[in-house]
Structure 1
């Protein structure tokens, strides 16, 4: 990726958030609206054909089995109120490939469910149209049209979608209650015999078909980022959205099998329409058709919302293309995610196969829910101190029971469902290996870079100090503690034990008494300075890699280390290699040169036109305060410069102090010299500490030429600290050749 593009991403990309416009009523109707749809208006007849009158038991059993998973969702939603629902929970608990498969299954399950609801709408819309104006368009055309309309509504925004959802859900619940009341007088006890003609197998098989009728709570958690007070609202909405539909389901199925023979019900894609036509007359038929339209359209609306949010969440986490998680500039909705899932929804509506679509959606949902319940168990272990406003009782019994129930339902599905579901998961695995895995790593790298830059701008320093030389230990710790104390940071002392290449790291385990002694001395210095301190020993095949890996693992954003003077050409080249690898560190770096820093009376800053010199100036107040020293800023200009150039140089050094936000007063001096290094070295006296910015360029320059800080270092014996400010960049080809292995940012 182009380095300028990376810089733009890190510096200008704003955090994306949804507007929280959904309250308890909207959240509950979101779940209830998704549940009371095709599951009762279409699948109830098919369930009766599979289980007989015992379909009543199937609905009760399905509700009770789903309760275990709903409780798991309640805990996770209250503690992780982010868009994405089950996928987000698995991403937090299990991560990686497993999280991708969960999201992949949930998206497909929601997309297929949308097609089911669109087809259910058409099964009620066409008879109504024929009853009113004697026109009956093709089922697929009506399904396609309503799906397209609801996609546009969700692009417009959740506020409009939420209002629409409230109206549809409340109206259809009221209409179903009226329907139950009107049908009760027509129930015949004889229709309940035989109650379970197909035994337990029929009951569980019907449960496997209607499971989609109880999945609305997932949609609530998927929209958590749009719900007000999600930690309290979401668990309440989940449980309400489970119990309200279950009571209505039982009532509807009870009057259905009590009025019509279960075999007749099993042949109809609109069983409630048959019942209304038999016992409620033409007005009752019209009533049920309207109720069916409201039920399927609200379920479709809610599930489109969930599918888009799940897709958005995966795009946000880097598993899908970045365009997926773009929000509309006006409506603040994930319109690209809605459009992406919309295309697939429209394609499935053209299949026209209701039962096939229902089984496929159930397979995807059940697979994902098994992973969600596993995540509850893992999150309790990984994050025991995580705040859980709703805490699951009898852990881990409930999530284990939920997993067992889901596996049982999967066992009673048709063989072709396994094949299609496994094919979809296999396709997802291929997508993950070919695209998503690398894309995820890239997004995570950019995210970490952005976080590091933000922390550095706020000067929230977590400083890593590699210690190896007892002679430089004091200087390193004094520098680190001064900066940490000034900016309320912390210090980590690190001792890296190098293990020969091709030798297992465990072979390096030995007596670490020398390393422990150095770290104890470092800890004593930090304790005296009243700075938070931690210490680590790391085994590595290369010193520089050990330092960088520890910086990444501990989220350090500043490395301070010592360097001795390279005298021989080979030593210089090896030092340069070390410097190149250190430039892979995603943080600021300071190199301390010298051995004594206990009698500092004056601090000198070389002011040059680069960000490294500016960083030195920004951090100088910490050292001035530590040593109670005077401050001198020097700026070198050509020896033959005239009065005008000197005046311009004085103005420039004033602007330099402003850019560095340097509020410590100090002397300013302009140096005229042919060789800046000699002029700077000439200013150094006993008791001085020199702060400089790194001036090296590319790898060839590092190998062939000496930098100004190195030239100064060769001419003086006083201590020098060379600063390098982190900036995102791409490595050049010489760096890749010399540095070898690329250090990835985790």
Structure 2
């Protein structure tokens, strides 16, 4: 894959960044913002610059660590994962194209002051010329940008100096015409004026000495442009009567007419056309690098990563961007789209501030030469400020950003996800945090002080299976000096009186009573026994467990029985309503297991599941096999983190750990004698999050259903299944 040549110096970087900002932000938007906030529009521009600063610092840091074409997309994709990277790449690509179209259409009215020209044909012609210039090469584009910016700044400087003496203080009274709400709404509207400050990062691969020039270019242009915006808008408000600039199509020209006369208007016209052409030019240059970078990562067709042999530019990507720009100019109401772009730009800047946290907390290689000061408070301020502003953008703007987001997500799942196997640094950060939390809870579950287990027996159990359940329960409580409560539950028809039924003993009950005399001696634990006759066994089990306040219920259940899977089972009701953990046993015998296998459902092991394995293995001098499902093409970082989690889990256990599938030291079988799995979460019955992918084996299996108090929240459960 060909790379791009580094031939853009600091002057060009500053010119591209300043030129990308000073366009519609000063020549079009002040009139609309003044209509919303009155004279406080001056403060709105200052606040917008302050809210942009955290993202500018974050992007400066990330750009020095990853000086590659693509900017925002690259950082979010590497930090937050390919899904959010796709959303950021597609959304920012459209946002920059929208802003470029707005600049061209908004610049033509300034030409109409001098020439009688149709707006859209002129805008289309200018766009076509700029597309051709970008196809020729970045160096030519950069040189043009320097010339444009120098001429534009000269004209604007003359406007500031010449108009400043005419500023009248009375024009700023009252300052807050619509209160704090109007100020924030105006700040959100003009936020897009600063979007170009980070465009430099999208061409980082073509910048000379990126460690120095990228931070200087971004931060220097932001400071300069913020000051210039505030000065120009303050002069516009101060030299014109109320209503002259508000709603005007050429607000700067109207202000210049009031102080500098016809000659001043001519200079402003030249500056406006140069500025808006500059914005469009920088927009094409930077936005075309987003599909280029995404194509290199497999998120869009690789043809968009093609580099021209003759000019060394991403010609296919530029052509596609140009086509979108021309379509927008010809058919779309650009001002409305620009508002949508502003809302999405705020969302992207929020993601940028979160992404730097992912990089710093993650384990992937990340060595920036510039570091954002006051981390993470700077980023927290940027996130909170962005959230405040986006609430002021209006429902239509937010809805448009949501549509772009959903469209990008659909593209990712339909096209990109089957083709790539990557994840962002944030995914591993979340995975490690979830793993640490679960390990802490697991340690507490293993070290619990008291434990009482109810063994619920029914007429369906044979003598051998009853004994297996009792031995299993004894192993569970013995490490905690606990107690086993054995209860025979007899269900009689509704029409039969309970008193009469209790007087008649079945053969199974007689056999059960014969065992109770020697039960406590055989199990070496405290045992309470009893029987309950009822019309509804499941209610009786739950009521007894609640009355006795046991810690767990042990009962038989064939989890793969067809009836259970299709129409449910009474034991499912017990799981949902029990006041404690429920251990359902697919009972195939229990006789001093030598290998206990922990089975994962794709997330981390439940603490109660691990505690059961620890108790049984420790009482039988058994080994524990910590199994985990393998995933083809799983990211290397995921494999490393999960392996570390398994090692740390093994350190919590007091029994030997065996690698799944390996043979015993004495050459014994690698097949488990007992499997312990996490039971399906009844809150997500039938959901993909709790699908059961494990295969049945020829040994007893315990499904551990933690009580609701021990279940993770649905958000955490979702994170466990997604990141593990």
Following the alignment from structure 2 to structure 1, what is the Cα–Cα distance between the partners of residues 394 and 633? Answer: 55
Q: How does 1:669-688 map to 2 (within 5 A)?
A: none
Match of 2:444 in 1: none
CA gap of 1:73–1:185, structure 2 versus 1, over 3 A, is same
Match of 2:658 in 1: none
Q: 1:35 aligns with which of 5, 9, 21?
A: 21
The one of 111, 132, 142 aligned to 1:125:
111
Q: Give the CA deviation at 1:192.
A: 1.5
Shift of residue 217 of structure 1? 2.1
Q: 1:303 aligns with which of 280, 283, 291?
A: 283
CA contact (8 A) 1:42 1:269 kept: yes
Matched residue SS, 1:265: coil
CA contact (8 A) 1:498 1:539 kept: no
Does the 8 Å CA contact 2:4/2:206 hold for their aligned counterparts?
yes
User: Where in structure 2 are the equivalents of 1:589-668 lying within 5 Å?
Assistant: none
1:283/1:437 CA distance change after superposition, 3 Å: same
Equivalent pair of 1:222/1:309 in contact (CA under 8 Å)? yes
Aligned length: 464
SS of the residue 1:350 aligns to: helix
> Alignment partner for residue 91 of structure 1, among 77, 100, 115?
77
Question: Is 1:74 matched up with 2:60?
Answer: yes
CA separation of 1:498/1:420 partners in 2, compared to 1, >3 Å: closer, same or farther?
A: same
Q: 2:175 aligned with 1:195, yes or no?
A: yes
Task: Please state whether the residue corresponding to 2:367 is helix, strand or coil.
Answer: coil
Partner of 1:19, secondary structure, is coil
Contact 2:111 2:117 in 1 (8 A): no
Please, which of 363, 373, 397 is the counterpart of residue 393 of structure 1? 373
Distance 1:323 1:548 in 2: 26
Q: 1:189 to 1:540 in 2, by over 3 A?
A: closer
Partner residue of 1:331?
A: 311
5 Å-filtered alignment, 1:396-475, equals 396-441=376-421
CA contact (8 A) 2:256 2:264 kept: yes
Q: In the alignment, which of 223, 235, 242 is matched to residue 243 of structure 1?
A: 223
- Normalised to the residue count of structure 1, the TM-score between the two structures is 0.58
Corresponding residue for residue 115 of structure 1: 101
Which of residues 313, 318, 324 is equivalent to 1:344? 324
Counterparts in 2 of 1:375 and 1:279: CA distance versus 1, 3 Å: same
Aligned to 1:516: none
Distance 1:404 1:440, change over 3 A: same
Moved more, 23-32 or 193-202: 193-202
CA–CA separation in structure 2 for the residues paired with 1:375 and 1:266: 38
Instruction: Identify if the C-alpha distance between structure 1 residues 141 and 293 changes in structure 2 by more than 3 Å, giving closer, same or farther.
Output: same
Deviation at 1:424, TM superposition (A): 1.8
Aligned-residue offset at 1:499 = 6.5
Correspondence for 1:367 among 338, 347, 350: 347
Q: Verify: 1:312 aligned to 2:292, yes or no.
A: yes
The alignment status of 1:207 with 2:193, answered yes or no, reads: no
Q: Describe the SS at the equivalent of 1:263.
A: coil
For 2:315 and 2:46, locate their aligned partners in 1 and report how far apart those are by CA, in whole Å. Answer: 38
The gaps in structure 1 that reach 5 residues or longer are 1-14, 131-135, 445-496, 514-536, 556-746
1:441 Cα offset (Å): 4.7
Instruction: Provide the residue aligned with 1:718 in structure 2.
Output: none
Pair 194,437 (structure 1): closer, same or farther in 2 beyond 3 Å: same
CA-CA distance at 1:550 after TM superposition: 8.7
Deviation of 1:351 after TM superposition, in Å, equals 4.2
Q: Deviations over 1:298-352 (max 9, x none)?
A: 1111111111011211111111111111111111111111111111111111246
Kindly tell me: are residues 546 and 443 of structure 1, through their superposed partners in 2, closer, same or farther at Cα, counting changes over 3 Å? closer
Q: How does 1:35-54 map to 2 (within 5 A)?
A: 35-54=21-40
Distance, in Å, in 2 between the alignment partners of 1:391 and 1:163 is 30
After superposition, the Cα gap between the structure-2 partners of 1:262 and 1:331, relative to the gap in structure 1 and judged at 3 Å, is farther
Q: Residue in 2 aligned with 1:105? A: 91
TM-score (norm 2): 0.60
Are the structure 2 counterparts of residues 438 and 251 from structure 1 closer, same or farther at C-alpha, using a change threshold of 3 Å? same
Call closer, same or farther: CA 1:547–1:74 in 2, change over 3 Å: closer
1:651 matched to which residue of 2? none
Question: How far apart are residue 386 of structure 1 and its match?
Answer: 2.8
Change (3 A) 1:276 1:351: farther
CA distance in 2, matches of 1:353, 1:297: 19
Q: CA, structure 1 residues 235+305, in 2 after alignment: closer, same or farther (shift >3 Å)?
A: same
Deviation, structure 1 residue 414 = 2.1
Q: Deviations over 1:477-529 (max 9, x none)?
A: xxxxxxxxxxxxxxxxxxxx99799999968988999xxxxxxxxxxxxxxxx
Deviations 1:602-660 (A, max 9, x none): xxxxxxxxxxxxxxxxxxxxxxxxxxxxxxxxxxxxxxxxxxxxxxxxxxxxxxxxxxx
1:290 aligned to 2:270?
yes
Alignment counterpart, residue 335 of structure 2, candidates 330, 355, 364: 355
Distance (Å, rounded) in 1 between the aligned partners of 2:601 and 2:196: 55
Residue among 19, 25, 30 paired with 2:11: 25
Offset of 1:371 from its aligned partner? 1.0
- Distance verdict in 2 for CA 1:266–1:354, change over 3 Å: farther
The alpha-carbon distance between structure 1 residues 385 and 262, as it changes in their structure 2 partners (threshold 3 A), is farther
**Cα offset, 1:547, TM superposition:** 13
* 1:354–1:189 Cα change, 3 Å: farther
Q: In structure 2, do the counterparts of structure 1 residues 280 and 363 end up closer, same or farther at CA, with 3 Å as the change threshold?
A: same
Superposition RMSD on alpha carbons, in Å?
Answer: 3.4
Query: Following TM superposition, by how much is the alpha carbon of 1:237 offset from its aligned partner in structure 2, in angstroms?
Result: 0.6
Give the Cα separation in 2 of the matches to 1:183 and 1:547: 65
Contact 1:115 1:357 in 2 (8 A): no
Distance 1:340 1:538, change over 3 A: farther
- How far apart are residue 539 of structure 1 and its match? 3.7
| Separation in 2, partners of 1:365, 1:387 | 26
Residue by residue, what CA displacement relative to the aligned partner does 1:6-51 show, whole Å, maximum 9, x if unpaired? xxxxxxxxx3210001011111111100011110011112112211
Q: Where do 4+ consecutive residues of structure 1 move more than 3 Å?
A: 351-355, 439-444, 497-513, 537-542, 545-555
SS in 1 for 2:414: helix
Structure 2 CA distance for aligned equivalents of residues 551 and 419 of structure 1: 36
